[in-house]
Amino acid sequence: MAYLYTVQSKRGPYTVLSVLTPEEGFQDGLPPEAIIGTLPANVTSVNPIDFKPNPAFANFMHNVIRRYAPLHKDLQDAAKRKGAGWIYIIDCRAAQPQGEVEKQDVIGAFKIESGVIVPDSYQRNNEHLLVSKRGPFCLDDWLMSKLLEETRSILSRRSSAPKAPRR
């Protein structure tokens, strides 16, 4: 799930695509890790031509996948069945996730040894598109919940941090 909303900056308005709702984002401000990317002001749909991905979000998303995917029950089961090789994290918007998948829909991969995901083996796919002609990226429900937990954790730490005195 992704949310579009327009924000004001010193350089003028622009549209943000975020994993957080506008209510969450405007409460304490959006951390860079919550901004999937930006678009021109006041757009109502996500167009990959106008979309500018946010590297901070992409790095954050891949770090969450690197940390949590080896704990994912479905991926662990698939690794047991496969035995050895690689297991791929596929974007949910892929037309045939069990068949041939476009490079832009492969998020990353983990090495499998003896039916177990090797945790430190994650390799991100730099050709994965956060926004394609089929819309924003899509993780399965479990990984998306982990991404949202981690993003909200950043918000929580920011809102509980002591504020600098105003001068």
Q: How far is CA 141 from CA 91, 96, 161, in A?
A: 12, 18, 30
Share of the chain above pLDDT 90, in %: 71
Q: How far apart are CA 135 and CA 100, in angstroms?
A: 19
Rg (CA), the chain: 18
Q: Is the pLDDT of residue 161 over 80?
A: no
Q: Which two tokens stand for residue 57?
A: 């979000």
Query: Left, alpha or beta for 118 (phi > 0: left; psi -120 to 50: alpha)?
Result: beta
What local confidence, expressed as pLDDT, does residue 1 receive? 81
Count CA within 13 A, CB hemisphere, residue 103. 3
Name the strands in the sheet holding 52-53, side by side, starting at the edge strand that comes first in the sequence: 3-9, 12-18, 35-39, 52-53
- Segment 6-24 shows an average pLDDT of 89
- Segment 22-39 shows an average pLDDT of 88
- Segment 92-108 shows an average pLDDT of 85
**Angle CA(57)–CA(60)–CA(61) in degrees, nearest 5?**
85
Q: What is the pTM of this model?
A: 0.90
**Tens-digit pLDDT profile for residues 64-74:** 999 999 999 99
